[in-house]
């Protein structure tokens, strides 16, 4: 295994132990954590979420990756469909994109009006202040990737049948909007960066380094998360260990793996 990959695996294992402690800290105190991951298409949001949650208690986190609003949702208050995904006591919710679609993607692609964009930019700081005043810990990350690297990732998706699903028509259309999205991103950060909800930018031209740096930073932002993970001592079983004997009414799946 290359030295770089060994470093990544070792660093990630150590961080996942800390994330498990974070899980315990949230559960133990009924605390709420929300992490927003924004960035260009193919920046690495999904892979980062998998790395964060890989060793977490499945009951302690949720992933919010909302699709295009339906006809009913389109008539609602813009934040309404996001509110139902906010964390409950003891939870961390990770947003794979968020309400900030309206700050970058939607205006760049013509999916919202200028009035809708203007109203959102005016409302979002107050909306996030309500969340943090209520005790939610809010972390916002922009995953930065250069256009050359983004194009390489798009090319890989185009030629890899296991990744075709990641390449949407919107992804293809956004390739011509790189500069425009960068301008909108800067306006978004300048107008929505607040002490209670700051923006953090992470270099994701190298996705593995980006994941390690983001997770380390995330853990550093939590006031205290070094909860001891309880060690379970298994009592000794009585008698001999038994084999699995299933009723003959069940059908066994053939073993096709060979020796």
- What was the pLDDT predicted at 226? 62
Give the span between the Cα atoms of 172 and 84, in whole angstroms: 31
The more confidently predicted of residues 232 and 224 is 232
3-state secondary structure of 105: helix
- What was the pLDDT predicted at 227? 61
Please determine, for residue 3, whether its predicted confidence score (pLDDT) is greater than 90: no
Tens of pLDDT, residues 113-172? 999 999 999 999 999 999 999 999 999 999 999 999 999 999 999 999 988 888 888 888
pTM reported for the whole predicted model: 0.91
Tens of pLDDT, residues 19-78? 999 998 999 899 999 999 999 999 999 999 999 999 899 999 999 999 999 999 999 999
Q: Which long-range contacts (CB under 8 A, 24 or more apart) does 152-157 make?
A: 153/42, 154/41, 154/42, 157/42
| Phi/psi at 17 (5° precision) | -65, -40
- Decide: 163 and 157 in contact? Cβ < 8 Å: yes
- Decide: 90 and 58 in contact? Cβ < 8 Å: no
CB atoms closer than 10 angstroms to residue 25: 18
The HSE-up count of residue 4 (CA atoms within 13 Å, CB side) is: 4
Structure tokens at 91: 């939870």
């Amino acid at each position: 295994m290359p030295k770089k990959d060994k470093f990544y695996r070792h660093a990630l294992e150590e961080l996942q132990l800390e994330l498990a402690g974070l899980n315990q800290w949230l559960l133990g105190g009924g605390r709420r954590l929300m992490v927003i991951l924004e960035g260009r298409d193919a920046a690495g949001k999904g892979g980062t979420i998998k790395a964060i949650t890989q060793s977490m208690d499945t009951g302690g986190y949720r992933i919010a990756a909302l699709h295009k609003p339906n006809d009913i949702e389109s008539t609602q208050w813009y934040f309404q469909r996001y509110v139902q995904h906010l964390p409950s006591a003891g939870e961390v919710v990770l947003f794979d994109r968020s309400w900030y679609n309206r700050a970058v993607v939607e205006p760049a692609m013509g999916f919202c009006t200028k009035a809708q964009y203007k109203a959102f930019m005016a409302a979002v700081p107050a909306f996030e202040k309500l969340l943090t005043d209520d005790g939610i810990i809010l972390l916002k990350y922009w995953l930065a990737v250069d256009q050359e690297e983004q194009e390489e990732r798009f090319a890989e998706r185009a030629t890899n049948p296991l990744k075709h699903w990641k390449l949407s028509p919107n992804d293809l259309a956004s390739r011509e909007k790189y500069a425009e999205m960068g301008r909108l991103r800067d306006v978004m950060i300048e107008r929505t960066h607040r002490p209670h909800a700051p923006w953090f930018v992470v270099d994701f031209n190298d996705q593995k380094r980006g994941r390690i740096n983001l997770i380390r930073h995330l853990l550093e932002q939590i006031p205290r998360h070094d909860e001891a993970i309880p060690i379970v001592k298994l009592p000794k079983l009585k008698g001999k260990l038994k084999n699995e004997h299933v009723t003959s009414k069940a059908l066994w799946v053939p073993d096709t793996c060979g020796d």
